[in-house]
Structures are given as structure tokens and as C-alpha cells.
Amino acid sequence: MTTSMTGPEPAARAARRRRLGPLGAVLDRRVGRLQAEYLRGSPAARADLARLRRGLGKPAGSVPELWELTIAAVPPDLSWDRDEPSRAEHAAHAALTLYALHQQSMSGPAHIPGVGFGQAVGHLGGGAGPSQAAVARRFMAAATAESADELLTHVRGLVSQLRTAKRGMDYAQFADDVMAILTPGRGTSVRLAWGRAFYRTTGQADAASDTPADDLPDN
């Protein structure tokens, strides 16, 4: 599949959007607009990202100034009339605040449609050496986290590494993944998908690094 700096080409992007859940589809549009405005140099977009970063590590719904950016993004049928945030509200808050951290100071896009969390981190973990081993350990810690707070703590560290490496990931899909993890009985399939994508990506990177120079194609 041919990709651009902003993600899959139109036909593949449409197919991907059909695979997103209701929350992911909404956030794909919202993050896409915010990212486009930020990359055009919009002061309003920069201010929104700064506001979102103030919500990092805080419970969903606990920062009133973020409600219009996070809670308001959630489709009404994914909210509930209770005193605590819904799973979708938790997932939207996590995805949007982490995206804001990731996009900070990047001149290119941090939200790359079609590049899932496992694949994105796998690009960091290919090859051998202490740094790659550290990436694998942190990825495993995220994948085996026993609570949402523990999961997002490890993901935040990996997002910082992705930002340093100037690599993006799909925050709409990540929101769907977090919502699934928060739903009893659905977390195992998400973690398995992350693991498959991570190790397939690191395996491809290992194979490429092992290819003798004489076997590489001419440019």
C-alpha cells in the first residue's frame, strides 16, 4: 500500500475509516482538523494543544477547560448519565492528550492514519542493542499493564520516544483500542494485535539490518 506523509491514499483511508468504531471515526476527523490547523501555524490550534497537554495524567472530565475538546468529542450514545466518565470519555481524553504531547514541537504529523500503536513502537524497537531492548521492555509493560493508569503511563513514555524519532501513529485507532481495553472481555484481542504488529515490524527491521550491502537494491 502506498502511503504519504499523512497516511494512506484516499481509497485505503476510506476503507480504514470504515473499520474504525464510532469513537475512532469521530476522533479521526477531529484530530485530523486540529493537526492540519497546527501544521499551518494556527495560533488557535497551538493553544488547543497546550490546553490538552495540561490534561496529561489527569482523570477524564477532571479539567473543565478541556471539556469542549475531549468530552464534547464523544458521540452522545457513548456517554452515560453517571457520576463518572464513560469508557469512551476516558479513551477520548487519553488519545487527545497523548496526541497533544506527541505533536508538540513536531514539524510533521503525529497522527498517521493506518499506523497502529504496535507498528509505530515496533519501528523504534527494530534491531539489537540497549535502546531497542528498553523499547521492548516498555512496550511489554504497556501491553501487560493491569490498570488503565499503568497502561497510559507506559504509553506516554513511548509516545515521547516516538516524538523524538519523528514517527507518528494512528490516534483514532488508539482511542478505539483504549475503549476496548476498558471493556471487560475485549482487552486481550487488542493486546494481541499490538504484539503481532510490534514483532512483525521489529522482525522486518531486523531482516533489513542483516541484509548485506551488496544485496541492497540500487537507488
Percent above pLDDT 90 for the chain: 75
pLDDT category at 196 given cuts 50, 70, 90 is very high
Confidence of residue 27 (pLDDT cuts 50, 70, 90): very high
Q: Tell whether the model's pLDDT for residue 144 goes beyond 80.
A: yes
In this prediction, residue 82 carries a pLDDT of: 79
Q: Go through the domains of the chain in sequence order and give each one's CATH number.
A: 20-215 (1.10.520.40)
Note the pLDDT of residue 132. Answer: 84
Mean pLDDT of all residues in 173-188: 96
Give the whole-angstrom CA distance, residue 114 versus residue 196: 15
Over residues 30-37, mean pLDDT: 98
| Longest alpha-carbon distance in the chain | 64
Total-model pTM: 0.86
Assign 84 to helix, strand or coil.
Answer: coil
C-alpha cell at 52: 490538552
Residue 211, pLDDT score: 42
pLDDT-derived band at 120 (thresholds 50, 70, 90) equals very high
Residue 33 in grid coordinates = 482538523
Whole-number pLDDT of residue 32: 97
What local confidence, expressed as pLDDT, does residue 62 receive? 94
